[in-house]
Amino acid sequence: MVKNSFTDRYNLEYCIYFEEFAYLEMAINREQAVKKWNRQKKEDLINRKNPQWNVLVTEHGFVREPSSLTLNEITFGEIASLSSSLRSE
């Protein structure tokens, strides 16, 4: 992990879910909405898209798509929201 990087700052180890948006404003709105969800609702979201909780992105940023997984579009904020929220609850 790179010191003072995004993953270091948010204590992220694995990317198990992400979304991508065409516009930053849409991504921010989605992130803010998801932050308000309870843990179960966040886990349900992950389970619908990645039921095995496979690691989807390596530390080098490469996406690995399991054949059963259809990925949405991505924002790094979404990763932080889900990972941080799941760790803190």
Q: Above 60 in pLDDT, residue 18?
A: yes
Amino acid 34: pLDDT: 93
**pTM, full prediction:** 0.59
56-73 pLDDT, tens digit each: 876 667 665 544 444 444
SS3 23: coil
Whether residue 1 lies inside any domain: the answer is no
The whole-angstrom separation of Cα 58 and Cα 78 is 16
Amino acid 72: pLDDT: 47
Domain tally, the chain: 1
Q: Are 79 and 87 in contact (CB under 8 A)?
A: no
SS3 57: strand
Contacts of 68 (CB under 8 A, 6+ apart): 51, 52
Amino acid 17: pLDDT: 87
Whether residue 26 lies inside any domain: the answer is yes
Amino acid 6: pLDDT: 73
Whether residue 57 lies inside any domain: the answer is yes
Amino acid 66: pLDDT: 47
The boundaries of the domain holding residue 57 are 6-88
The whole-angstrom separation of Cα 78 and Cα 31 is 5
